[in-house]
Chains A and B, each alone.
Chain A
Amino acid sequence: MTVGIEYYVLLSAALFCIGLFGVLTRRNALMFLMSVEIMLNAANINLIAFAFYHGNLSGQVFALFTMALAAAEVAVGLGIILVLYRNFRDVDVTVPSAMRW
């Protein structure tokens, strides 16, 4: 028995919304990064489910690329969070607010 494609899309949409909720409400930069990771993985679920549905492999291969890029993004992000902590003694994203319009 195969699971219908719409369930996969629902799962990934739910994950995406959970991630988006985290991005909008969390003040800790690390939690923010984790929420973004959830959003990226929601896209991965979609890609793999649709690759199975369409019967071609480009979605699966692209999911591998997405994972690699997510890792690279975390590496750069953690570097920035590290200098943030050195300068502000905090990883709260609402603390640096010298520039406002």
Chain B
Amino acid sequence: MAVLEMPELTALAPPMILALTALVLFTYDSINPRSTNRPVIAGVAAVGSLASLAVAVWFILAGVGTPVAEGGNGVFDLFEGQLIVDQMALFFMIIVGVVTALVSIASYDYLRDHAYQAEYYSLVLLAATGMSTMAASNSLVTIFISLELASLPSFALVAILKSNRGSVEAGLKYFLIGALSSAIFVYGISLVYGATGHMQLDAIADNLGAAEEMNGLLGIGVLMLIGGFAYKTASVPFHFWAPEAYEGAPAPIAAFLSSASKAAGFVIAFRVFTTAFPLDVMQTLGIDWSLVFIVLAIVTMTVGNFAAATQNNVKRMLAYSSVGHAGYALIGLAGLTVDGGELVLGAAMMHLLVYGFMNTGAFLFVALAEYWGVGRTFEDYNGLSKQAPIACVALAVFMFSLAGIPPFGGFWSKYFLFTGALEAASANPWLLAVAAALVINSALSLYYYSRLVKAVWIEDPVLERESLSQPTGLYAAIVVAAVMTVLILPGFGPVADAAIGAAGAIIP
């Protein structure tokens, strides 16, 4: 029972650094809540998230989480399998670290007039701790607790502009749907526990179908769990909160929720459905969850992309595009087959990593536009390139990468998703429909993404503007995100290997 041995526990360093940083900021906030020393507060948050990111990258390079048979340091099983640090956990800790660092740096300028600075960063870091722990959760207990740790600060963060009606409305809607879906999720957990008698994912897998008369309960429980995941990843049928919450929230928080929170939702979905509910056993029980994900993937990407194409508000367009991208990542679960699927699951993980850069960057450009106060619609963005060429080049990179134009990272992850879906189609012909939906929706998405690029680069401004300021933090975050979106291309080989390796390790 030596669960508190130091060497084992250090495998959890990335989330622990985030938690420590959050507590430092919290202490600072309790001592001096009205402090406006923005460089120190934002600096602590950025350094903490960068340290967490650095440790996660170092771990994955040093072979922590890689099985000993493949020359690594072995998978770390903590607290009797409640938490697990494997390649997939580290991969998603990296995504959370990247997004948190970008958001902390960008918030430095965005929050210049905000009264309570340290409280904001402390909540961001607490939510990031929850997301990072979600990546390592290996039991329905830890999954639920870390999910709530990620959700509760997010509700407060969306509503943090307390006298702004939009922010409060967004916070209320996010909270109401969040509370409902967490109730559904915990009820699903109770049913799965009833059917199997266990909460730890491997133990659930061992006890599937042990009690024949409980299989109906198990099926309903699995459906309710899918509902909880759909909420966290902003997929159909629980996607209604996303456009409202992203539009009303401060733009850096919208970036944080749409990238990191979505990735964290996917990592628990990947782990639960590959570890606890192996497809071959579930099919013999008559609960074929891959069919559910096929339908959800097609519906989610179609709803997201068609709704995005009709928007006039840029932030709302990005919100619906994020619903569409949740549909692309769902292919990772839809494409799992009884004897394979690591390519398609790995592709979904790659897509979430690339998405962490390009989507965060796109929302941070919206944050920059809100900082300037230029307005919210496509017309308001007209001709921005004359005043801010660098940021607009970055915006073009994000948009073309989100659309999946060949030279950028977004193309490669979609390409892997497509080939993975085609490969799995030999076992399950329905995946041909998924692959077709992916291509059609990507083509459609090019329309509304390029509309934004056309607005900033080609159109003339409706009103003449003064020259625009260049806030350091926001610019730095946007440029880093753009550079990484491009640089991930030559580095795509190792990223793809890491993702596919991580996917192969969790598929039984």
Contact = CB atoms under 8 A, between A and B. Distances in A.
Contacts of A86: 162-163
Given A9-B217, A58-B193, A65 B156 contact: no
Given A42-B187, A99-B247, A77 B165 contact: no
A101 interface: yes
A98 B166 CA distance: 7
Size class of A's contact patch? 35 or more
Contact of A76 (B155, B184, B186, B311): B155
Nearest to B243: A101
Contact of B159 (A49, A66, A83): A83
22 contacts: A33-B179, A36-B179, A36-B180, A43-B187, A43-B190, A56-B198, A58-B193, A58-B199, A62-B141, A77-B175, A80-B155, A80-B159, A80-B168, A80-B175, A81-B172, A86-B163, A96-B165, A96-B173, A99-B166, A99-B247, A99-B248, A101-B243
Contacts, number: 128
A73 to B, nearest CB: 6
Among all A-B residue pairs, the 7 with the closest Cβ atoms: A46-B190, A39-B183, A96-B169, A54-B197, A50-B194, A43-B187, A43-B190
A56 B194 CA distance: 11
A11 interface: no
Interface of B: 141, 144-145, 148, 152, 155-156, 159, 162-163, 165-166, 168-173, 175-176, 179-180, 182-184, 186-187, 189-191, 193-194, 197-199, 217, 243-244, 247-248, 307, 311, 316
Given A76-B152, A83-B159, A99-B247, A23 B168 contact: no
Given A58-B141, A73-B152, A98-B166, A43 B183 contact: yes
A46 B197 contact: no
B182 A101 contact: no
Contacts of A21: none
A43 B168 contact: no
A86 B155 CA distance: 17
A46 B152 contact: no
A4 B194 CA distance: 13
Interface in A47-101: 47, 49-50, 53-54, 56, 58-59, 62, 65-66, 69, 72-73, 76-77, 79-81, 83-84, 86-88, 93, 96-99, 101
B190 A47 contact: yes
A58 B165 contact: no
Contacts of B244: 99
A79 B349 CA distance: 36
Interface of A: 5, 9, 12, 16, 19, 23, 29, 32-33, 36, 39-40, 42-44, 46-47, 49-50, 53-54, 56, 58-59, 62, 65-66, 69, 72-73, 76-77, 79-81, 83-84, 86-88, 93, 96-99, 101
Query: Which of A16, A23, A84, A101 has the most B CB atoms < 10 Å from its CB?
Result: A101
A44 to B, nearest CB: 8
B5 to A, nearest CB: 23
B190 A101 contact: no
B172 A80 contact: yes
B169 A76 contact: no
A93 B174 CA distance: 12
Contacts of A98: 165-166, 169
Contacts of A83: 159, 162, 168, 171
Contact of B183 (A9, A19, A58): A19
Contacts of A76: 152, 155-156, 175
B399 to A, nearest CB: 21
A91 B351 CA distance: 40
A58 B203 CA distance: 12
Contact of B148 (A47, A69, A101): A69
Contact of A73 (B169, B179, B198, B247): B179
Query: Which of A5, A12, A77 has the most B CB atoms < 10 Å from its CB?
Result: A77
Contacts of B186: 40, 43, 66
Nearest to A99: B244
Contacts of B187: 12, 16, 39, 42-43, 46
Contact of A29 (B163, B172, B197): B172
A74 B260 CA distance: 24
A32 B178 CA distance: 12
